[in-house]
């Protein structure tokens, strides 16, 4: 596991350097989900692949930017699933973006997720690594320094919700309004790493990306976006759901690029959501 964490640290340092000299151009390719790939998405994916190709304990890599899993060492134990550059369409406006990593043992399923991590490329480079508990690291003078353990309060104040409101269900609309009626404040940048990081560091709130009329399975991807963050939020004392199950970690992984509606928050917001569904 240590060599995997070392590779994650090295990848995030390299990507943060790449972003300083960013080429915002698009390639002529689309990824599996149909997004036109930025040169930066592709380069970040290549950097991570290069770094992990020397890591003996990794059996395979699954990336948002690769159609298929890439086999590395057949007899190794771990599969690393990652989004190399989450929120990449915001690089041109100089917003914070990130990378997300889920580390699975033997098989890609929620139960086999043994650790996850994400990097935030903002004014500073920060990394959150979560085995048993989420620890925040800051990159300073050439190394990552542990800052603190991250914990969510029982209830938060922030409300971040994605997709076009045009496609929201009546239920989702009502729930989001009910939080604003409780004085929650709107926060949504369009990069889930930055938005979930803000909620974690400010102590709580809700991040949601719901099912919509045009995307009934939502937008965010199970293996390399949703499960890694669900793992971190639950270890931080929060809760998660797809709107039905009592945890996102109950989801079955049907295929590597599958998407799901998702809600991450403090315990209060998630139990309010699930409670309202039962009424």
Instruction: Find which of Mg ion, ligand AHM, none residue 88 binds, CB within 5 to 8 Å per kind.
Output: ligand AHM
CB of residue 102 vs ligand AHM: minimum separation in angstroms?
14
Of residues 86 and 234, the one with the C-beta less far from Mg ion: 86
Beta bridge partners of 116: 102, 130
Considering the rule CB under 6 A, would residue 205 count as an interface residue with ligand AHM?
Answer: no
Considering the rule CB under 6 A, would residue 162 count as an interface residue with ligand AHM?
Answer: yes
CB of residue 95 vs ligand AHM: minimum separation in angstroms?
11
219 is in an annotated binding site: yes
In the complex, the residues that contact Mg ion under the rule CB under 5 A are 83, 86
Residue of the chain from 11, 16, 49, 88 that contacts ligand AHM (CB under 6 A): 88
Distance (Å, whole) CA 73 – CA 136: 30
CB of residue 4 vs ligand AHM: minimum separation in angstroms?
21
Classify 64 as helix, strand or coil: coil
Residue of the chain from 15, 49, 87, 259 that contacts ligand AHM (CB under 6 A): 87
**Binding-site residue total for ligand AHM (CB under 6 A)?**
13
Distance (Å, whole) CA 206 – CA 196: 9
Q: Select from 32, 77, 72, 27 the least CA-distant residue to 48.
A: 72
CB of residue 10 vs ligand AHM: minimum separation in angstroms?
21
Residues 6+ apart with CB under 8 A from 234: 240, 247, 249
Phi-psi region of 88 (alpha: psi -120 to 50; beta: other; left: phi over 0): alpha
Residue by residue, DSSP assigns 185-215 as EE---S-HHHHHHHHHHTT-EEEEE---SS-
Considering the rule CB under 6 A, would residue 102 count as an interface residue with ligand AHM?
Answer: no
At 161, give phi and psi (nearest 5°).
-135, 140
Positions touching ligand AHM (CB under 6 A) are 35, 64, 83, 86-88, 162-163, 190-192, 209, 219
């Amino acid at each position: 596991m240590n060599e995997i964490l070392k590779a994650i640290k090295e990848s995030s340092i390299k990507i943060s350097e790449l972003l300083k000299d960013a080429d915002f151009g698009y390639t002529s390719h689309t990824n599996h989900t149909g997004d036109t790939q930025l040169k930066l998405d592709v380069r970040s994916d290549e950097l991570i692949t290069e770094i992990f190709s020397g890591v003996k304990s990794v059996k395979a890599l699954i990336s948002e930017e690769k159609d298929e899993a890439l086999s590395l060492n057949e007899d190794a134990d771990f599969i690393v699933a990652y989004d190399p550059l989450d929120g990449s369409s915001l690089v041109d406006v100089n917003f914070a973006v990130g990378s997300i990593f889920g580390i699975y043992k033997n098989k890609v399923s929620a139960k086999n997720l043994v650790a996850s991590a994400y990097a935030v490329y903002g004014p500073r480079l920060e990394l959150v690594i979560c085995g048993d508990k989420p620890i925040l690291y800051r990159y300073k003078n050439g190394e990552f320094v542990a800052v603190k353990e991250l914990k969510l309060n029982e209830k938060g104040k922030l409300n971040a919700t994605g997709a076009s409101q045009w496609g929201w269900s009546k239920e989702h609309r009502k729930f989001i309004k009910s939080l604003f009626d409780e004085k929650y404040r709107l926060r949504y940048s369009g990069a889930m790493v930055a938005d979930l990081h803000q909620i974690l560091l400010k102590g709580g709130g809700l991040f949601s990306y719901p099912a919509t009329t045009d995307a009934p399975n939502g937008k965010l991807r199970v293996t390399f976006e949703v499960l890694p963050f669900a793992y971190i939020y639950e270890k931080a004392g929060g809760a998660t759901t797809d709107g039905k199950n009592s945890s996102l970690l109950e989801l079955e992984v049907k295929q590597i690029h599958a998407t799901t509606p998702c809600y991450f928050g403090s315990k209060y917001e998630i139990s309010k959501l699930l409670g309202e569904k039962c009424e």
